[in-house]
Structure 1
Amino acid sequence: MKNQLMGMLDARKEEMIEIRRHLHQNPELSFKEEQTAQYIIDFYKGKDVEVQTDAGNGLGVIVTINGGKPGKTIGLRADFDALPITEETEVPFRSKNEGVMHACGHDGHTAYLLVLADCLIELKDSLSGTIKIIHQHAEETPPGGAKSIVESGILDSLDAVFGIHLFPSHPAGVVGYHGGYAMAGRTYFKLSIKGVGGHGSSPHLANDAIVAGAHFVTAIQTVISRRLDPFEMGVVTIGSFDGKGSFNVIKDRIEIEGDVRYMTEDVQQLIDKEVNRIVKGIEMEFDVRCEISYIPDYPPLYNDPELTLFVKNSLESIGDKDIQNVLEFPMFSGSEDFSYYAEKIPGCFFYIGCKPKGVEKAYFNHHPKFDIDENALLIAAKAMAQVVSCYYEWE
């Protein structure tokens, strides 16, 4: 079956590219992916599968392929939302939706999985067990789609779950993996500081919210440098400091927004404690009132070590000209809501190189000039096909 499956994927490479380009031209933001979800649903019309729509808290689509032989149940996941970014590439299939762009490769994730799923449907009588194809909405915007799909119970029967992500850090032909904690968790915070406004000539009659906020920006960095074990990973970013006003007026209120990233829940709890301690200190030191929203959204992504080793060994044994190298990637400080699947189900999330040809340094995900080598679509499909084929032998 494996050889037949690989041959079918080779024959449908151009179809994957066509699907990816269609999706790239028609991107939709998280929780608004109505046309994309309908495109996915239409793809499966007339096929001998069960299709569940509106999965989770949005527009997710779950497709169940029942094999002809008994066996375990696995899930294959791809996300399909885009980002609020104005595209700056020169490709002929650039986004038609102003201010919205597939700048993270989710168009490619969906394209490869649609074709792979269709091939698996054709071969379903030879399959042992069940495969659930998880077309997930809203990966980019918390609370995301994954958590709600997991909580719905539709995936309770899964024995393992797999996903991939296109990354331009490596060229097409490279597949990366990392066992254990692989991607960071993320927390969003918003701090409002309320002081007493006044005239710039009389600072003693005011409590300057900007000065208090500036102190917070400096103090919060000491959480990483002076409270966190140097062998642990943590990042604090201030992304917005809203204190605009007149040059000679002392502001009475400012708002600060940012995010925190960490590789373990223990570090998350430590940073949470320290941030709140600093906020209380600012209230006392500057005689201001603070309101902080500190909301963990995506947990750290933990790849099951045994399952990851299986993926590595499977890919190293593929013997396919398109997959040239299988490498261990370092931990990545970006976050990914695949982590919700992997919290409940043994999972492995791995990486597909997609660096465009002829460039020395590619624009990374979320950049307005992000692009991929479309050969990576076939490589993603073959890599996942190999994992699926070998899983039932492994088990």
Structure 2
Amino acid sequence: MKKKGVIVLSCLFLVFIVGFASYLFYKKENTKEAPQALVTEKEYTPIYSVPSPYTEREVKGYLTKDTEYRNYIAFNQDWWRVAVGNDVGYVPRKETKIASATAVKNQSLTSAFEGETFLVKKATPIYRSMSKTSKKIGEFDQRTQIEAKDTDKDWMEVNVGGLIGYIPKDSVEKQNGVPVLMYHHLLKDEENHNFRGVSTTITPEAFDEQMKWLHDNGYTAITLKELEPYIQGKKALPEKSVVITFDDGIISSRDYAYPILKKYGFKAENFIITGRIPKESKPFNPDRLDFLSYQDMEKMKDVFSFGSHTNALHSMNEENKRGMITQLPYEQVLADFNQSRQALPAHSSYFAYPFGHLNETSVQAVKDAGFTLAFTTQKGYVFPGDNPLLLNRFGIGPDITLEKFQEIFK
């Protein structure tokens, strides 16, 4: 009898354990946090190409009300960064909210969206399906660069905020634009002791390989003086045009880049931090960053032109990691830009934003200092009609293999 009672109690205990475990599992499944989505509270919320609304031209498109966007991250306290094609745009946080997502899972995209580059000819709604009667999930502004996939005879597939949408094929045109390449520092592997893993340092061998590929494939390295009327819509360029730029004016551009560019007959722009120009030319030392002198620039002027990278504001605010040109009063920024421009050979009209950081104040100062072209670090091509003070570039770092380099020109 005792044995039978023990068996019964054991069975009851087992039933209790199984039941309790099932309860915990059910509770966990029904109380776990729901997926989150970015939702706009306005009928149309602008997507900007950079995190500040400078001009209407710099609006890439719009998010629409009551659409749940899945591919977004916080850029800072004021801006969300959202996926637009295989690129990004910026949305004001004050015009959006985060809500529990209800969208069907397969309607969202979190991985990279690889499409071809097109230019939007006119303001174009983005539809949920290949029908103009379906829900609008966004809109592209006129002259926006987008990545799109050719999936139907009448429709292109696009990505906005992590959602797959569709636009009429006749609303875009294939236009490659001009790629502007951005380099910084060149060092051989065996002499690179202090800059390994730095995203702006590549080998002279890699640079030579890239320049050789451009040369062998018939590309023309145009100057910024030639690019400017192209942007204004006043001049056509050779079909295979490219712009080569260097930031910072580091001596390695003298010892490595200059002879390679000269070998292939290419021109380039070097954006100089004028406050760092030494009085005399220095010998190359791979263990430190030294900068070009006026004597160096004079000897290199058959290949390089020299633009501004500020006079003494190529630095960051250590608290928020933002470039100092975005942190200081307009008058101080303008004074620095004027000083830099006057210190440059030929008082160049061309500028590059340090670290790609900019705001409305710095863009206005660039304009008022007399610069006519200014370059960001935002990835993309340059087209006629682009804002000349917010031009795209392709940064070339050690992660850019020759195959990835070639993809820029497809």
In which range does the TM-score fall when normalised by the shorter chain? under 0.3
In our comparison, the structure showing a higher alpha carbon Rg is 2
Larger helix share, 1 or 2 = 1
Query: Normalization by structure 2: what TM-score?
Result: 0.23
Query: Normalization by structure 1: what TM-score?
Result: 0.23
